[in-house]
Amino acid sequence: EAQVTQNPRYLITVTGKKLTVTCSQNMNHEYMSWYRQDPGLGLRQIYYSMNVEVTDKGDVPEGYKVSRKEKRNFPLILESPSPNQTSLYFCASRAYGANVLTFGAGSRLTVL
Amino acid sequence: DQQVKQNSPSLSVQEGRISILNCDYTNSMFDYFLWYKKYPAEGPTFLISISSIKDKNEDGRFTVFLNKSAKHLSLHIVPSQPGDSAVYFCAASPGANSKLTFGKGITLSVRP
């Protein structure tokens, strides 16, 4: 089944404790992206990647890092999480030339 | 600067009636528009799209209308069903391989 898989789905952590949210897609998509969803703010792009080793900032990149060492994986790294990063995170991917994004099921992160 | 606006946060409709979800945009470079549906605890899923060369696209109970001069699009659901209750995101991009910009979403409730 074609899908985007995120882990963990739920996480409660404390301020300053580094964490990584993994994202993997099995569709051989070139483009991958991370979004966060917050009440009243909709979906905002954090980082995106056009292909392996090519990443760029989205609208709200502060406090986040990403890497794209393999085509299928695009982890989101929070080096020193803060409470304002409490949010629902979505990873998404699409093929080159396509407009439609396929989303993962989401990762709900709470930073205390 | 919000380039894709969904000004109504919620809509409640009786089962069997028409649901009309509105979306406005400000960027005249946008030429491809999509609607996504999101259920709780799931990722957004693609629903329907329209390119700027068209003014209407229909898929079963779902129809999207585009008014380029007014920079306005709408999603019509006829007839509405309780299973349509979800958050609907409008999104736009200036073309393939370009960033997708999302609105804040609208919560649709269809009453039995």
Q: Spell out which chain B residues touch chain A, with contact meaning CB-CB distance below 8 angstroms.
A: 6, 9, 32, 34, 36, 41-46, 49, 89, 93, 96-97, 99-100, 102-105
Closest chain A C-alpha to B81 CA, distance in angstroms: 23
Largest interatomic CA distance in chain A: 40
Q: Using the beta-carbon criterion (under 8 Å), do B43 and A100 form an inter-chain contact?
A: no
Band the pLDDT of A99: cuts 50, 70, 90. confident
Band the pLDDT of B83: cuts 50, 70, 90. very high
* pLDDT greater than 90 at residue B97: no
The answer for residues whose C-beta is within 8 angstroms of residue A32's C-beta and 6 or more apart is A23, A25, A48, A49, A68, A74, A91, A92, A93
Which residues of chain A does B48 touch, with a Cβ-Cβ cutoff of 8 Å?
Answer: none
Q: Which of B100, B12, B92, B90 is nearest to B47 (CA)?
A: B90
pLDDT in tens, A59-91: 999 999 999 999 999 999 999 999 999 999 999
- Look up tokens 């609105």; give the residue: B103
Q: Which of A44, A70, A41 is nearest to A55 (CA)?
A: A70
Which pLDDT belongs to residue A109? 97
Band the pLDDT of A6: cuts 50, 70, 90. very high
Please tell me which of the candidates A96, A98, A103 has its beta carbon nearest to residue B44.
Answer: A103
Q: How many residues does chain A have?
A: 112
User: Could you tell me the sign of the dihedral formed by the alpha carbons of A23, A26, A30, A36, in that order?
Assistant: negative
* pLDDT greater than 80 at residue A54: yes
Which residues of chain A does B6 touch, with a Cβ-Cβ cutoff of 8 Å?
Answer: 42
3-state secondary structure of A60: coil
Determine the Cα–Cα distance for residues A82 and A21; give it in Å rounded to an integer: 15
Tokens of B22: 């509105």
Which residues of chain A does B100 touch, with a Cβ-Cβ cutoff of 8 Å?
Answer: 45, 99, 101
pLDDT in tens, B4-48: 999 899 999 999 999 999 999 999 999 999 999 999 999 999 999
Band the pLDDT of A97: cuts 50, 70, 90. confident
Which pLDDT belongs to residue B95? 81
* pLDDT greater than 80 at residue A35: yes
